[in-house]
Structure 1
Amino acid sequence: MRLLSDLMSPRALERVIQDAAQARGLPVAGLDRPALEDILKREVFKRLQLSVPAPLAKKRVSEVLAELLLADQAGAAARSAPAGGPDAAEAARAEAARVVSQLEEGLRRFALYFDWPETQRLRGVLGIARQQQQDGQAPAPLLQEGQDLLGALERRLQEELVIQAQDLAELRATFARVQGLGSRDVRRVEGLINQIAEAQDQQVLLPAEVDRARTLAFKLRRSLESSVVQPGGGAAALPADAQARVQALEQEHVARRLSDLGNEYALLFELRPDLAQNHEKLRETHAAGTLRSESAEAWQVTLAEARRGALEQQRNELAELDGRFENVQDSPAAQDARLRLEVARSILAGDGLITAELRELSTTLTALNSSPETMDHLLEQQRELAELERAARDVPGAQAELSADLAAARSALVLGQVPDLGPLWRVLERHMGRAAQQREDFDARADHVVEQYDRVRTLAGETTQSLGRLAETLRAQRRLGPMSPQARTRYAQTLEGAEALLIEARAEYEAAQQVTSTFGEDALSGLLGLFDLGGDADAPELAPATGSSEDAPARRDQADSGLPHGAWTVTAGEITDGPAEEGAAKVASLLAQAAAAGLHRLDMGDASHVWSARLGQSGDWRLARAADWDTLDREAGAWLDG
């Protein structure tokens, strides 16, 4: 029933199946596939419609029915296998050994990510499971938790690989812009990009290398945007648009830093609400555009120090709990609690915070010290509350709404009281339904963006290139299974950015189409990557620009003008600076009519070159040409933008 886990809580599903089985006069264990199918189609489908639209509920029920059929076929094959195998106890030990081996292999795979909470907990769980296995015990609950942790690790790895792929694409785009600087940092960025690309191919994360590459790329971009040189080599004051670009670069860098810190120190923020509030204030300052990168770096140092202090405090708390458990009378429940205490100790030894574990151990200790009549009930409620809290963390909006009620339930358990968790489960399920519908909407929006991008992708230019990178990220996010809240937030951000760029790309595409209809398909097909400015004798004539050659401004040769290689200035459809070339003259004629159509930027391509033009405030165009976009950006990008 895992296919329903994001729509309906396990407790609610269990109750629905129990009630349905009782209504049919059957025990739950006696339900066969036809009976389960009937319950799914009736009671479960009806229950799902309380939180999600009927089409989504029907889709998920159909998926579960298909899985039931496969499971029934597999069971039939197993029953038809020859008998005479080991007895049940031996089979259980063999299965436990197999699972332990599987967990060990999984832990080795994720050993690189030793600072992930899931990895730290898996290491602790596996260590205790090995010990129990050696003592001849069957660690079934621990093994199940280990398998759940492996699933969580796999999900996180896939989500992080999507982020790394997006970072890699952005780093490559930035490298193309700064490659011409030729400094030592540029070579370092290139080396890091190669390392990251190789790791991405192998499904391995290199967060430290990505962080270094992003920091270096940011500094290089800032340096490039800040260096404005006038024709002839003279230095100029930084124009307003260049200042805006530098500011935007810094704010983008700071935003990513704050986002990374929020994810890295999420457990610390749960323990220290004051730090969470300070982090939110920094985000608000960033939103106002006044937060510098140095402030974000200083905040990172503060958080690291706070985390060290929190770890020391939790070591003391765990030692105190350990001493209190020594006075608890031995029982199966006490033994289980001591196992979980050992898991917490292992996590803490790996510098992982154990806030939730300490809370659960404390309430467990209260239950163990209660009367025999209430102990079992309190322990069951404590386990259910822990399950509820874990589930709420994975559902957007649920933890925020339930935080006060969860705290009240924990306080009740500490006092030996039994809280009613039913209303809390219903709140969680409502959020689960909303989250499932939101995911459906996100996927539909992603499909739309990708489809629309495919229609405008032939239009050359920075907007389309940026949209292409986001479209590729959306494809990867679309393929992800159940998402963490962090991944869902990134999905929403990618969609917002891609949809905004899609609006710009459509406007550019429509403008290109408008100019094409004015000048003819052949004359302006370069806007769509098809324009041939190679001087073919059969090329169509462009409409002449207004004004005669006698009225045209005097043109200077490129050697005398201080222009970049392959660059021209154009006024009123005539070249004023730069070498005399037929292809450039045709584009110059085109620019006069493009300005009349309201265009201020053109990016084009012919059979052998790419072209880019910018309209200045004075009405003059800056035009540049190169063999490819990277070369053009390197040799003339700063001049075009200046």
Structure 2
Amino acid sequence: MRLLSDLMSPRALERVIQDAAQVRGLPVAGLDRAALEDILKREVFKRLQLSVPAPLAKKRVSEVLAELVLADQAVAAARTAPVGGPNAAEAARAEAARTVTQLEEGLRRFALYFDWPETQRLRGVLGIARQQQEEGQAPAPLLQEGQDLLGALERRLQEELVIQAQDLAELRATFARVQGLGSRDVRRVEGLINQIAEAQDQQTLLPAEVDRARTLAFKLRRSLESSVVQSAGGAAAPLPADAQARVQALEQEHVARRLSDLGNEYAALFELRPDLSQNHEKLRETHAAGTLRSEAAEAWQVTLAEARRGALEQQRSELSDLDGRFAAVQDSPAAQDARLRLEVARSILAGDGLITAELRELTATLTALNSSPETMDHLLEQQRELAELERAVRDVPGAQAELRADLAAARSALVLGQVADLGPLWRVLERHMGRAAQQREDFDARADHVVEQYDQVRTLAGETTQSLGRLAETLRAQRRLGPMSPQARARYAQTLEGAEALLIEARAEYEAAQQVTSTFGEDALSGLLDLFDLGGGADTAELAPAGGPVAALPHDAWTVRAGQITGGQPAGSAQPVAALLAQADAAGLHRLDMGDASHVWSARRGQGGDWRLARAADWDTLDREVGAWLDG
């Protein structure tokens, strides 16, 4: 029933099936495929409609029914296998050994990501499972947890690969802009891009290399945009206002990414230290106001690293205290289970992983073990249920914020040996699960729409369309992801917002270009430049610019007024574009980016009504050689 796990809590699903089986006069274990299908189509479908729209509920129930068919086929195949072999106990041990081997192989796959909490916990779980296996015990619960952790690691890897692919695309775009600088840092960025691209092909993450490449690329872009303009006398002129704005935007973009990365990296610390979480939010607000410098973000990273070291020392002390208190507890199966979880926590802490949730659970377990025999089992069961609820809440957007106070109250009650009613909390969680499932459906539909619309405007040259193309590719990758973590879901929403904003701009540019080119009888921008024979063929007459002597302008650059060239080297191929700019004046446009078979063209309208027009073999060359001149 894992296909329903994001729509309904496991306990709620269990209750629905139990009640439905009771109505049919059957035990749950006695339900056959026909009975399960009927329950899914009736009771489960009805229950799902309380939190999600009927079409989504029907879709998920259909997926579960298809899984049941596959499960029946697997059972039938097993029944045809030869009878005999080891007894049940030996078979269980053999299966456990296979599972341990699979977990070991999985852990090796994720060894590079030793600082991930999931990796740290899997290492601890696997170590204790091996120990139990060597002692002849059945580590089934630990092995199940290990398999769940392996699934969580796979999900995180896929989500991180989507981020790395997006970073790689942005780095390549930035490199195309700055490669003309030819400095040592440019060569370092190129080398890092090649490393990251190779790792991406191998489904491997290189976070340190990505971080270095992004930092270098940011500095190079800032240097490029901040390049001073030399006046005629050789003195450095101040940066124009638009260049200053671009530099500021670059820095704010860099700071935003740094804050986002720190939020993900120190999420466990923020859970332990709400004061640090509040400070982080204040920094985000300062950034939103446009007043946070990159140096402040770097200083905040140092502060968080120091706070994390202090938290680890504090938790080592707390775990040592718990260890001593557990030693005084009378031996029992529940106490043995608690000591195993204590060893798992110790292993996580040894790998510099925070164990905030583990300490809470162990403290509550200790209280239950020290309670009266009449209440101990009930408290332990509720403590396990609360731990399950807390883990589920962390994976559902919006649920943690609403349930934080209620969960804290339930934990406090258990520590005092009191019973808490968790039913209302499960219902709140399920409501958020339904909302999250519907939100994902909406996100996927929006992503499909953006990708479809991008395909219609992708022929339009210009930076807007190129940026939209990179985001569309990211949306395709995000769309292919399975169940998402809250962090991945937030990134999905952010990508959608950015892509939809760019799509509006791209549509406006495309429609404006069509409006201009309609004068020449064309319905699409792609045919415009061919119409004017902008390739500069042999039959094109070289026209001298109107207005007398040619001004000293960059190569392949012209000034234009009222559709006539007023400055620049003679070039007949530029005159038709100059005529086009008269139409652009009439349409109220202030910028045009175009391309033909041999050149790309860009034109910018100044405040006085004059246009600056330039062409080059490609956009990178255009930006490098005449970008500053075009910007005025």
TM-score, normalised by the number of residues in structure 1? 0.95
Q: Per-residue deviation at 1:536? A: 4.3
Distance 1:529 1:137 in 2: 78
- Helix, strand or coil at the partner of 2:138: coil
After superposition, the Cα gap between the structure-2 partners of 1:400 and 1:543, relative to the gap in structure 1 and judged at 3 Å, is farther
User: Which shifted more, 528-537 or 246-255?
Assistant: 528-537
Distance 1:598 1:168 in 2: 37
Q: Helix, strand or coil: the match of 1:521?
A: coil
**Alignment partner, residue 53 of structure 1:** 53
- In structure 2, the CA distance between the partners of 1:185 and 1:199, relative to structure 1 (3 Å rule), is same
Q: Deviations over 1:144-167 (max 9, x none)?
A: 000000000000000000000001
- Aligned-residue offset at 1:565: 3.4
Do the aligned residues in 2 keep the contact of 1:328 with 1:369 (CA within 8 Å)? Answer: yes
**2:543, 2:571 within 8 Å by CA — same for their partners in 1?**
no
Taking only the aligned residue pairs, the percentage that are identical comes to 92
What's 2:463 paired with? 462
- Taking the aligned partners of 2:584 and 2:235, their CA distance within structure 1 comes to 31
Would the alpha carbon gap of residues 300 and 426 (structure 1) be closer, same or farther in structure 2, given more than 3 Å must change?
same
Instruction: Count the aligned residue pairs.
Output: 630
Partner of 1:8, secondary structure, is coil
CA RMSD of aligned residues (A): 2.1
Provide closer, same or farther for how the CA distance between residues 153 and 530 of structure 1 changes in structure 2, counting only shifts above 3 A: farther
Structure-1 separation of matches of 2:541 and 2:455: 29
Task: Give the Cα–Cα distance (whole angstroms) in 2 for the partners of residues 184 and 231 of structure 1.
Answer: 28
Q: Which has the higher contact order (CA 8 A, sep 6+)?
A: 1
How far is the alpha carbon of 1:575 from its aligned partner?
A: 2.7
Is the contact made by 1:7 and 1:433 (CA closer than 8 Å) also made in structure 2? Answer: yes
- Deviation string for 1:26-57 (max 9, x for gaps)? 11111111100000000000000000000000
Shift in alpha-carbon separation, 1:100–1:524, aligned structure 2, 3 A: closer
Which residue matches 2:617?
A: 627
CA contact (8 A) 1:228 1:235 kept: no
Which whole-Å deviations, capped at 9, do the CAs of 1:435-492 have from their partners, x for residues lacking one? 0000000000000000000000011111000000000000000000000000000000
Contact 1:571 1:621 in 2 (8 A): yes
Could you say what secondary structure the match of 1:570 adopts? strand
| Residues 26/522 of structure 1: CA separation in 2 closer, same or farther (3 Å cut) | closer
The Cα shift of 1:562 comes to: 5.5
* Structure-2 separation of matches of 1:535 and 1:385: 75
Q: Secondary structure at the match of 1:577?
A: strand
Q: Deviations over 1:154-200 (max 9, x none)?
A: 00000000000001111111111111111111111111111111111
How far, CA to CA, are the matches of 2:506 and 2:526 in structure 1?
A: 16
- SS across alignment from 1:602: strand
Q: Could you tell me how far 1:542 is from its partner in structure 2?
A: 13
Classify 1:493/1:531 alpha carbon distance in 2 versus 1 (closer, same or farther; 3 Å).
Answer: farther
Q: Judging changes above 3 Å, is the alpha-carbon distance between structure 1 residues 71 and 231 closer, same or farther for their aligned structure 2 residues?
A: farther
Mark the CA change 1:610 to 1:258 in structure 2 (over 3 Å): closer, same or farther: same
CA contact (8 A) 1:192 1:209 kept: yes
Query: Structure 2 stretches of 5 or more lacking a match?
Result: none
State the Cα distance separating 1:94 from its structure 2 match. Answer: 0.9
Structure-1 separation of matches of 2:481 and 2:531: 36
- Maintained 8 Å contact 2:461/2:594: yes
State how far apart, in whole Å, the 1-side matches of 2:531 and 2:256 are. 38
Counterparts in 2 of 1:374 and 1:622: CA distance versus 1, 3 Å: same
529 and 277 in structure 1: CA distance in 2 versus 1, 3 angstrom threshold: farther
- Cα distance in 1 for residues equivalent to 2:499 and 2:543: 35
Alignment of 1:104-183 (within 5 A): 104-183=104-183
Pick aligned residue for 1:553 from 535, 542, 549:
549
Distance 1:424 1:56, change over 3 A: same
Shift of 1:227: 1.1
Q: Distance in 1 between matches of 2:536 and 2:354?
A: 69
1:500, distance to aligned residue in structure 2 (A): 0.4
Instruction: Report Cα offsets for 1:500-524 as digits up to 9, x if no partner.
Output: 0000000011011111111232996
Deviation of 1:635 after TM superposition, in Å, equals 2.2
Structure 1: gaps (5+ residues): 546-551, 555-560
Does the CA-based 8 Å contact 2:532-2:576 persist in structure 1? no
The yes-or-no answer on 1:410 pairing with 2:411 is yes
C-alpha deviation, 1:583, in angstroms: 1.1
Shift of 1:207: 0.5
CA distance in 2, matches of 1:85, 1:533: 81
Between 1:78-87 and 1:228-237, the stretch displaced more is 228-237
3-state SS in 1 of match to 2:229:
coil
Q: CA deviation at 1:527?
A: 5.9
**CA shift for structure 1 position 525:** 3.7
Residue-by-residue CA offset, 1:232-267 (whole Å, 9 max, x unaligned): 695554111111111111111100000000000000
| Alpha-carbon contact 1:544-1:589 (below 8 Å) kept | no
